[in-house]
């Protein structure tokens, strides 16, 4: 699997979002990560399907939409129609996660499941054959700028081992939370493929330098 860097627009300047998106795109971003939060499932609020629609107009890069909301099924179709390429639903947000994944797939886009730091991988193991991505939260969801939880490295490694044991489990492993020049190599070595980075990228004057640096560290760690 190739290494992909996904800037999180949660850390971008919302008043200059188009500028920040285009800047990251020209500086090597592979896709963009969009957090949609409702203030209930997580203690924060951000964005709506309209931000996905707006971003679709300014970039051709894949849009990776992370739904941190209760009752996700009600928003899957609007987000897909807004231009999302992948929709990721938390296993903890619904009693019927398989139905949510099936709904996403029926709309012709990629489907992913998200697991919080305290959620066992066994909770989503039955979904492995039907999903495109698994997002492992390496911080508690809701706010940007948090520190990476060290124990998540072993969780990523276990997930990669499970992926390798079945021929039909071809999903990508994504990580989100505290990704920087100190943590990305550990995650890549453990088996992660997609790396969401927010404040580490948008908190620096030279985004290209940071994206290039993260990719280099991840690629070296996978050798």
Q: Who's near 116: CB < 8 A, 6+ residues apart?
A: 90, 92, 137, 140, 141
Which candidate in 35, 38, 64, 193 is catalytic? 35
Which candidate in 30, 38, 64, 176 is catalytic? 176
Query: Which helix or strand (DSSP H or E) is residue 94 part of?
Result: none
Task: Classify 115 as helix, strand or coil.
Answer: strand
Is residue 191 a known part of a binding site? no
Is residue 106 a known part of a binding site? no
Are 156 and 193 in contact by the 8 Å Cβ rule? The answer is no
Query: Is 35 a residue of the active site?
Result: yes
CA atoms within 13 A on the CB side of 161: 9
What does the alpha-carbon distance between residue 191 and residue 188 come to, in Å, rounded to a whole number?
A: 5
Query: Which helix or strand (DSSP H or E) is residue 3 part of?
Result: none
Query: Is 176 a residue of the active site?
Result: yes
**In this structure, how many other beta carbons lie within 10 angstroms of the beta carbon of residue 153?**
20
Is residue 145 a known part of a binding site? yes
Is residue 66 a known part of a binding site? yes
- Give the E-state strand segments of the chain in sequence order: 4-7, 32-38, 45-46, 63-68, 86-90, 110-115, 133-137, 172-176, 194-197
Token readout for 31 is: 């896709």
Is residue 142 a known part of a binding site? yes
Is residue 178 a known part of a binding site? yes
Is residue 177 a known part of a binding site? yes
Catalytic residue annotation = 35, 176
Q: Which residues are annotated as a binding site?
A: 8, 33, 35, 66, 142-145, 176-178, 198-199
Binding site, annotated residues for a divalent metal cation: 33, 35, 66, 176
**Binding-site positions for substrate:** 8, 66, 142-145, 176-178, 198-199
């Amino acid at each position: 699997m190739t290494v992909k860097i996904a800037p999180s627009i949660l850390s971008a300047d919302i008043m200059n979002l188009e500028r920040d998106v285009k800047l990251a795109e020209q500086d090597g971003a592979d896709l963009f990560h969009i957090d949609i939060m409702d203030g209930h499932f997580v203690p924060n609020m951000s964005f709506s399907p309209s931000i996905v629609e707006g971003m679709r107009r300014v970039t051709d890069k894949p849009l990776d939409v992370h739904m941190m909301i209760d009752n996700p099924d009600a928003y899957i179709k609007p987000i897909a129609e807004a231009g999302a390429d992948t929709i990721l639903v938390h296993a903890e947000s619904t009693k019927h996660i398989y139905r949510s994944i099936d709904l996403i797939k029926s709309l012709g886009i990629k489907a992913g499941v998200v697991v919080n730091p305290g959620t066992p991988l066994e909770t989503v193991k039955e979904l492995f054959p039907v999903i495109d991505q698994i997002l492992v939260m390496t911080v508690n969801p809701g706010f940007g700028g948090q520190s990476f939880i060290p124990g998540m490295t072993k969780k990523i490694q276990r997930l990669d081992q499970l992926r390798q044991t079945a021929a039909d489990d071809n999903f990508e492993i994504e990580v989100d939370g505290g990704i920087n020049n100190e943590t990305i190599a550990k995650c890549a070595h453990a088996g992660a493929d997609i790396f969401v980075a927010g404040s580490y990228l948008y908190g620096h004057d030279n985004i290209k330098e940071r994206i290039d640096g993260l990719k280099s560290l991840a690629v070296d760690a996978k050798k």
